[in-house]
Amino acid sequence: MASSHAEYVKIVEEMFERKKEFRLIGQYVQRWDALDKILGRARFTADHAYFFKNLVYVHAVRAKYAHAKINKVDVSEAEKVPGVLKVITHKDIPGVNDVGYVLPDQPLLAYGKVRYIGDTVALVVAEDPYIAEEAAEKVYVDYEPLPVITNPLDIVSFGGLKEKEHTLIHDERGSDVIARFRILKGDVRKGFKEADVVVEGEYRTQFQEHAYLEPEAALAIPEHDGGVTIIASTQCPHEARRAISRVLGLPFAKVRIVVPPVGGGFGGKEDVANEIGAKAALAALLTGRPALVMHKREESIIGHSKRHPMIARYRHGAKRNGTLTAVEAEIILDTGAYASLGPFVLWRAIVHSTGPYKIPHVHTEGVAVYTNNVYAGAFRGFGNPQITFAVEQQMDKLAEELGMDPVELRLKNILRNGDRTVHGQLLDHGVGLEETIKKAVEATDWYRKRAEYAKQTGTIRKGIGLALLWHGNSIGAEGADYSSVTLIINRDGSITFRTGLTDFGQGSTQGLIMIAAEILGVPPDYFRVDQPDTSATPDAGPTVASRATAMGGNATLVAAYKLRQRLNQVAADILKCSPEDVEIHAPDVYCKSDPSRKIRWVDLIEECFWRGVPLQEFGYYRAPKAVWEDETGQGEPYFTYTFGTIVAEVAVDMETGKVTVDRVTTVYDIGKVINRVGAELHAEGGAIQGMGYALMEELVHDENGRVLNPNLYAYYIPTIMDAPKEIVALWVEAGYRRGPFGAKGLGEPSINGIAPAIANAIAHAIGARITSLPITPEKVYLTLKKLGKIKL
Amino acid sequence: MTQTQVQEYPEITITLNVNGKDFTVNVKPYERLIDVLRYKLGFLSVKEGCGRGECGTCTVIMDGKLVPSCLVLAVQARGKKIITLEGIAPQGKLHAIQKALLDTYAMQCGFCFPGVIMAAYHLLSKNQNPSEDEIKYALSGNLCRCGSYLRFVKAVKLAAEYIRKGQVYFDLKKVPP
């Protein structure tokens, strides 16, 4: 194993050093599935229902209370409804009744108690979705209500983050604190003593809903051998298989997950398919018919994870010249009723809790706690947008206090090549943060606007603000971090591409094809992507954590490299030149030294076939080991970091409090731009979603744990009218040696810095700071009124 | 077997025209147009995103009007002319708005696209030179969470330009894959 590890790392590093000219990488290329989607031919999960006869429909009976004991569940009346085939309760589960992702805390079907409003008590399986819904009314559940906790401060308190006396939500676990992480470096007391200036702040962020346009769906088909095939809208087919197999008590090999095109994920479809896939599979196996689970929007909103709300208290200390001396923070994440990805979200939040700065003395500590709210889990950014909202406002407050420009303060403290992070990790290369700041400042005419806007007096006031961000790539110390792909050159020269990494809209698969195409020397349209399928595509780890390009890209690069070596050998033999002299520019293959000596790509492939040269290759890549010391948060949590600077320009109506985002400029150091279209779309999509997070979006629970806005009429996401008027996406390519051609991830980082940049711009415009999200017109108005800046 | 037990409401036979072709189907009085289009007739481009007319993914054109097909009962579509994404260009062709969305590299997850395309198509059928504000207004009922909005505006402008030049359809074979 050690030698093979050395081999693939060597290939990745060799290509980083050697490959400097590109035909495809960094170019504008149409994504592989664009035409299918533009024609309306792409088949999403629910579309498959049209092709099945004898479908049954599964309806979840959800909890009536957010916290209650279940004394009795009686399904006999519901089962009598004509058209109902079966009502499934926890007693019908053949395997383990649990779909918890990180902790085994989430029953598929509730028993004993319910912990939030979305808990499923029973499943009605019927001939028709209307019948299933009607019969659900006849499932009788005897509840004994328990106190409902919706405020995480009822579980823990600031000043040590100790657990308080309360009615336990997870009595079976004995505690409602699911995780605790910290960074402990130097001596913060000393750091604050050395400080000339100290700023403090409390920051609050809200529940955010993914609101992908395609609600969750799963269609399960019972197989002849007792197994099951599940077509599901998921980001993580292999993870879903693991969870569903456990519920069904079946070996992995008998549970097959197929992933058709997915209508958006953003992290929300990381673990929900474990639940809906298992529900569909249970119904299919118990009735012997294909079973469909299709969430309505209301069910989607209460039935899948959210972005964790955060309450954080920060203290920053700095010298008069702006040098940071200490950072202290207490961070509380509300993970709702179940852990989902919560422990990892908290960990990522803590890892990034200081921002991308050099700080001698640090003590940041955080906990994630249960409440009876909708559960929180993975959402683009994964804990990082929350803390970035706090840290970057702290930095602006500090700049204000010091009378420094926010840019200057940051330039004093940022990480550069050769620096160590607050975890003691040496960043010896590939840190392009300073360049991102300089590009952003230049592109926005920062200094002029900053000075000019400060003098405004009118009703509409402009503001310009910035935020820096960093984002550790891939899974890091959370767990096993590997990726794999299979490349098959077919006898006609076309190429089959397979990986368990899913493309749920973000375009990562396009990037992988471009990497393979670049190395093989073929146009991208030679490729045919086989959709993720646990029975056909290799397990590539989950499609999360901005890892598809960084990790999958390396696996692709390794597979293509090996194939290319074999092709060069055969071509060299035919063309009578050295393998290094072989140039593939399909459809032609020729000698660089004498292009007249050439053959066609298809003929080269045919020749390989007859010579018995394998035309399939498996590419595997495992990330360098991540290190994390639990007590101190010291180590190397991630193998590399994406960096960025966001500048937001806003206009605030001083009479109504309405904020308009005029322009967002994003500058990300992603090492190397692979798929330029995908990168730009991320910058834009992240900016718009981040704007929603900053100004509009909030999932609201009442004191009984009921969601007050479980639909798109009351949960606002940005429309085309709300979106920033202009988004400028710029790039820094600092090059990470162990990324594919130097590339790093962008999926999540593209949302991290948007909200704080907007918040800082608003503060610049109105001369007051709002420290809780979302920054609604109402909040701005009331803030202005309180400060006497508004008379109405 | 159980199929017969569940017919508590009588079915009604309706004829509707979808993309220029007549279809006769039996529907329940409570059945929605979206379900008939999707599951009885196989027009799978029509997507369901919310079921309440709030997201725009199921948008179709009914007798020249833009409607969310999730809020139209199938019986209301009796005798009506429906256009879905499948019907905006002849076989083997792309409509200018589809070509323009490719040209502007707007595609992400694509789930909102059928509705967005129908709304844009509807606008372009009435206005071949829409302003930016008119475009935004026309697409304001179509949510896109991946965030292709700014490209939608560019694409509609470009499509309008194509149409003004007389290029309404593009040969699929000539469109780069």
Buried-exposed string B64-98: b where 16+ CB fall within 10 A, e elsewhere? eebbbbbebebbebeebbbbbbbbbbeeebbbbbb
What backbone phi and psi angles, to 5 degrees, belong to B160? -60, -40
pLDDT, tens only, B44-74: 999 999 999 999 999 999 999 999 999 999 9
**CB distance A333 to A349 below 8 Å:** yes
pTM: 0.97
pLDDT band at A792 (very low <50, low <70, confident <90, very high): low
What is the rounded average pLDDT of the residues A212-219? 98
- Nearest Cα of chain A lies from the Cα of B35 at a distance, in angstroms, of 10
CATH code (residue B43): 3.10.20.30
Classified by CATH at the fold level, domain A45-146+216-294 comes out as Aldehyde Oxidoreductase; domain 3 (3.90.1170)
What residue type is assigned to position A572 of the chain? Answer: A
Whole-angstrom CA distances from A749 to A267, A310, A501 are 13, 18, 19
pLDDT, tens only, B124-146: 999 999 999 999 999 999 999 99
pLDDT band at B43 (very low <50, low <70, confident <90, very high): very high
Residue B5 has pLDDT above 60, yes or no: no
Residues 79 to 98 of A: which have CB under 8 A from any B CB?
82-83, 85
What is the rounded average pLDDT of the residues A484-493? 98
What is the rounded average pLDDT of the residues A747-770? 98
What is the rounded average pLDDT of the residues A188-193? 98
ipTM: 0.97
A392 class by beta-carbon count within 10 Å (0-12 exposed, 13-18 middle, 19+ buried): buried
Residue A571 token pair: 């071509």
Task: Give the per-residue pLDDT at A778.
Answer: 97
Q: Looking at the DSSP assignment, which residues form a beta bridge with residue A198?
A: A317
Same domain, B45 and B100: no
Give Cα A593 distance to the centre of its chain. Answer: 47
What is the rounded average pLDDT of the residues A363-388? 98
pLDDT band at A2 (very low <50, low <70, confident <90, very high): very low
What distance in Å separates the CA atoms of residue A468 and residue A383, rounded to the nearest whole number? 15
| pLDDT > 90 fraction of chain A, expressed in percent and rounded | 97
pLDDT, tens only, A84-106: 999 999 999 999 999 999 999 99
Domain-terminating residue out of B38, B60, B84: B84
Cα dihedral angle (B147, B152, B154, B158), rounded to 10 degrees? Answer: 150
What distance in Å separates the CA atoms of residue A102 and residue A335, rounded to the nearest whole number? 12
Task: Give the per-residue pLDDT at A478.
Answer: 75
SS3 content of chain B, % helix, strand, coil (to 5): 40, 20, 40
**Most A CBs within 10 Å: which of B38, B98, B109, as the mutation test of the A interface?**
B109
Out of B108, B111, B150, closest to residue A723 by CB: B150
- Scanning A403-507, the segments in alpha helix (DSSP H) are 406-413, 433-444, 446-453
- CA angle (A34 as vertex; B152, A547 as ends), nearest 5: 95
- Nearest Cα of chain A lies from the Cα of B54 at a distance, in angstroms, of 6
B25 class by beta-carbon count within 10 Å (0-12 exposed, 13-18 middle, 19+ buried): middle
pLDDT, tens only, B85-124: 999 999 999 999 999 999 999 999 999 999 999 999 999 9
pLDDT band at A480 (very low <50, low <70, confident <90, very high): confident
Contact B108 A685 (CB under 8 A): yes
pLDDT band at B2 (very low <50, low <70, confident <90, very high): very low
Give, for A694, the enclosing helix (H) or strand (E). helix A676-695
Contact A131 B6 (CB under 8 A): yes
Residue B3 has pLDDT above 60, yes or no: no
Same domain, B169 and B105: yes
**Most B CBs within 10 Å: which of A213, A510, A525, A712, as the mutation test of the B interface?**
A213
Asked if the domains at A2-30+482-622 and A310-476+628-786 fall in one CATH topology, the answer is yes
DSSP-assigned states of every residue in A181-233: EEEEES-HHHHHHH-SEEEEEEEEE--B----SS--EEEEEE-TTS-EEEEE-
Q: Does B69 touch chain A (CB under 8 A)?
A: no
User: Domains of chain A: which residue ranges?
Assistant: 2-30+482-622, 45-146+216-294, 310-476+628-786
Residue A252 token pair: 């992995």
- Sign of the CA dihedral with A407 first, then A412, A418, and A419 last: negative
CATH code (residue B121): 1.10.150.120
Buried-exposed string A208-222: b where 16+ CB fall within 10 A, e elsewhere? bbbbbbbbbbbbbbb
Residue B4 has pLDDT above 90, yes or no: no
Whole-angstrom CA distances from A718 to A228, A418, A651 are 39, 41, 17
| pLDDT > 70 fraction of chain A, expressed in percent and rounded | 99
Give, for A622, the enclosing helix (H) or strand (E). strand A616-622
**CB distance A153 to A332 below 8 Å:** yes
What distance in Å separates the CA atoms of residue B111 and residue A503, rounded to the nearest whole number? 13
Classified by CATH at the fold level, domain A310-476+628-786 comes out as Aldehyde Oxidoreductase; domain 4 (3.30.365)
Partners of residue A42 in chain B, C-beta under 8 Å: 110
What distance in Å separates the CA atoms of residue A252 and residue A275, rounded to the nearest whole number? 16
Give, for A6, the enclosing helix (H) or strand (E). helix A2-18
Contact A684 B151 (CB under 8 A): yes
- CA angle (A424 as vertex; A418, A430 as ends), nearest 5: 35
Same domain, B79 and B45: yes
What is the rounded average pLDDT of the residues A318-331? 98
**CB distance B97 to B167 below 8 Å:** no
Pairing mode, strands A255-258 and A228-232: parallel
Task: Give the per-residue pLDDT at A538.
Answer: 94
Q: Which residue has the tokens 């009984």?
A: A704
Same domain, B68 and B132: no
Same domain, B11 and B56: yes
**CB distance A373 to A705 below 8 Å:** yes
Hey, how many other C-beta atoms are within 10 angstroms of the C-beta on A62? Answer: 19
Write the DSSP symbol of residue B158. Answer: H
pLDDT, tens only, A37-71: 999 999 999 999 999 999 999 999 999 999 999 99
What distance in Å separates the CA atoms of residue A598 and residue A578, rounded to the nearest whole number? 13
What distance in Å separates the CA atoms of residue A691 and residue A50, rounded to the nearest whole number? 37
DSSP-assigned states of every residue in A733-747: ----TTSGGG----T
- CA angle (A346 as vertex; A175, A481 as ends), nearest 5: 115
Contact B86 A40 (CB under 8 A): yes
Task: Give the per-residue pLDDT at B9.
Answer: 80
What distance in Å separates the CA atoms of residue A465 and residue A650, rounded to the nearest whole number? 9
Residue A3 has pLDDT above 60, yes or no: no
Q: How many domains does chain B have?
A: 2
Same domain, B62 and B115: no
- Sign of the CA dihedral with A569 first, then A573, A575, and A577 last: positive
Mention the CATH class of domain A2-30+482-622: alpha beta
pLDDT band at A4 (very low <50, low <70, confident <90, very high): low
Q: Looking at the DSSP assignment, which residues form a beta bridge with residue A316?
A: A199, A327
Arithmetic mean of pLDDT over chain A: 97
Contact A507 B38 (CB under 8 A): no
Maximum distance among all Cα pairs of chain B, rounded to whole angstroms = 59
Give, for B21, the enclosing helix (H) or strand (E). strand B21-27
What residue type is assigned to position B157 of the chain? Answer: K
Same domain, B110 and B71: no
pLDDT band at A477 (very low <50, low <70, confident <90, very high): confident
What distance in Å separates the CA atoms of residue A59 and residue A43, rounded to the nearest whole number? 23
pLDDT, tens only, A495-540: 999 999 999 999 999 999 999 999 999 999 999 999 999 999 999 9
SS3 content of chain A, % helix, strand, coil (to 5): 35, 25, 40
Contact B177 A35 (CB under 8 A): yes
pLDDT, tens only, A383-438: 999 999 999 999 999 999 999 999 999 999 999 999 999 999 999 999 999 999 99
Closest C-alpha among B103, B121, B71 to residue B174: B103
Residues 258 to 277 of A: which have CB under 8 A from any B CB?
261-266
Phi-psi region of A445 (alpha: psi -120 to 50; beta: other; left: phi over 0): left
Contact B6 A505 (CB under 8 A): no
Residue A636 has pLDDT above 50, yes or no: yes
Task: Give the per-residue pLDDT at A5.
Answer: 59
Task: Give the per-residue pLDDT at A343.
Answer: 97
pLDDT, tens only, A682-722: 999 999 999 999 999 999 999 999 999 999 999 999 999 99
**CB distance A244 to A274 below 8 Å:** yes
pLDDT, tens only, A764-786: 999 999 999 999 999 999 999 99
Same domain, B72 and B12: yes
Domain containing B14 equals 2-84
Residue A235 has pLDDT above 80, yes or no: yes
